[in-house]
Amino acid sequence: MPELPEVETVRQGLAGHLVGRTIVVARAHHPRVARRHRAGGADLCTRLAGRTCVSVERRGKYLWVLFAAEGEAPADERDVLVAHLGMSGQFRVSGDLSGDLSDHPHLRFDAQLDDGRWLSFLDQRTFGGLALDHLGPDAAGRRAVPSSLAHIGADPFEPSFEPAQVAAAIRRRHSEIKRVLLDQSVVSGIGNIYADEALWMARVHPARSAHRLPAPTIRSVIDAATDVMAQALEQGGTSFDALYVNVNGESGYFERSLAVYGRQDEGCRRCGAPVRRLHFMNRSSFVCQRCQRPPRPGSNEMP
DNA sequence: ACGGAAACCTGCTGGC
DNA sequence: TGCCAGCAGGTTTCCG
């Protein structure tokens, strides 16, 4: 569910409530919420108690809370709480529209803060999760990120993101362009919705070979992805239903702006031809078949 | 290295 | 009304 704009909306909301706050007590309510924390949920909660939040950061679809140093850990090795929302994760802060969540059927974790508020993590499908980690250098050596995220590439909103370099990396892949866009190690933050929107904007069919696309075309796909995610962020992200909401329990409004995603058999907003739904990589892709021409079978498109 | 499929989950929708 | 298949915005892992 949540892609970069939705996760960034959550990050901003969390930062407003968590920075400067200390965790009084933490509780895990479902075993899967801490499955990435090797020592388990009880250990996670014990270690979180007493920690003070310094900042909330993000790369791609991952969030992390940076804690104030305990002892003499160097600044670039500090402890963090890493979070991923998976398909249906939500962070909520009490005092918002949601009221008391302690009996919510999807409550997986919560923590009381020193201002009396509760931070709650709800997750219907339990693909999301939390883990304690520490900072370390990323693969490019450009930014301190949680050690478990070292393999994730920079996202388009990071200062270290170099569109030309990323375009070249994409072009080296002998794979379909949509598959490469969804590979978080190349560029992070893009999911199924914004991949389809970016490819539509750039008039590129998702099954085209990344290797055979002209460099300027790949660049235009990257620029389109950046633009569409920036526009979505301005509107608080994309919400189809109550599964995606910000920390106050409110929906985003970008759904009404989507050009192709979820618009099967409706008219392309550019040329009016019907939007088609393709089954691709075990998921759905939405394309305008007039604007986005498929690779010709005889073109040696996928060598 | 690449493509495909399955795994991890719950819940909703639509067809019969 | 009930049942079942299909589907959902993500990531990881295995297999050929």
pLDDT tens track, chain A, 303 positions: 599 999 999 999 999 999 999 999 999 999 999 999 999 999 999 999 999 999 999 999 999 999 999 887 788 889 999 999 999 999 999 875 556 899 999 999 999 999 999 999 999 999 999 999 999 999 888 899 999 999 999 999 999 999 999 999 999 999 999 999 999 999 999 999 999 999 999 999 999 999 999 999 999 999 999 999 999 999 988 887 777 788 888 888 888 799 999 999 999 999 999 999 999 888 999 999 999 999 976 565 443
Q: Which of A287, A259, A205, A12 is nearest to A4 (CA)?
A: A12
Q: How far is the CA of A112 from the C1' of C5 (A)?
A: 42
A301 is catalytic: no
Bin A103: left if φ > 0, else alpha if -120 < ψ < 50, else beta. alpha
A89/A74 Cα distance (integer angstroms): 32
Contact residues for A179 (Cβ-Cβ < 8 A; gap 6+): A281
A124/A147 Cα distance (integer angstroms): 27
Domain spans, chain A: 4-149, 163-299
Architecture of domain A163-299: Orthogonal Bundle (1.10)
Instruction: Among all protein residues, pick the one whose CA is nearest to the C1' atom of B4.
Output: A281
Which residues partner with A53 through β-bridges? A67
DSSP assigned state of A101: -
Which window residues (13-52, chain A) lie with Cβ within 7 Å of strand B? 32
Q: Which of A284, A168, A271, A237 is nearest to A11 (CA)?
A: A237
The residue type found at A296 is: R
Query: Residue A59 in contact with residue A158, Cβ under 8 Å?
Result: yes
Position A303 scores a pLDDT of 38
Structure-token match 């892949």, residue found:
A173
SS3 A36: coil
Which nucleotide is at minimal CA–C1' distance from A183? Answer: C11
Written as six digits, the tokens of A102 are 């302690």
Q: How far is the CA of A59 from the C1' of B9 (A)?
A: 25
CATH of domain A4-149: 3.20.190.10
Q: How far is the CA of A141 from the C1' of C1 (A)?
A: 61
A178 is catalytic: no
**Strand B bases, protein C-beta under 7 A:** 1-11
Query: Residue A83 in contact with residue A108, Cβ under 8 Å?
Result: no
A248/A236 Cα distance (integer angstroms): 12
Q: Residue A55 burial by CB count (10 A; 0-12/13-18/19+): exposed, middle or buried?
A: middle
Q: Which of A67, A62, A50, A72 is nearest to A6 (CA)?
A: A62
Position A302 scores a pLDDT of 43
Position A96 scores a pLDDT of 54
A146 is catalytic: no
Query: Residue A121 in contact with residue A91, Cβ under 8 Å?
Result: yes
Written as six digits, the tokens of A237 are 């992200």
Q: Residue A223 burial by CB count (10 A; 0-12/13-18/19+): exposed, middle or buried?
A: middle
**Of residues A21, A58, A59, A61, which has the active-site annotation?**
A61
Contact residues for A74 (Cβ-Cβ < 8 A; gap 6+): none
Position A127 scores a pLDDT of 95
**How far apart, in Å, are the Cα atoms of A150 and each of A62, A85, A138, A196, A284?**
12, 18, 5, 26, 29
Which nucleotide is at minimal CA–C1' distance from A279? Answer: C7
A269 is catalytic: no
Q: How many CB atoms lie within 10 A of CB A157?
A: 17
Asked whether this chain's domains A4-149 and A163-299 adopt the same fold, the reply is: no
Give the torsion sign (CA, A228, A63, A15, A41). Answer: positive
**Of residues A38, A125, A172, A283, which has the active-site annotation?**
A283
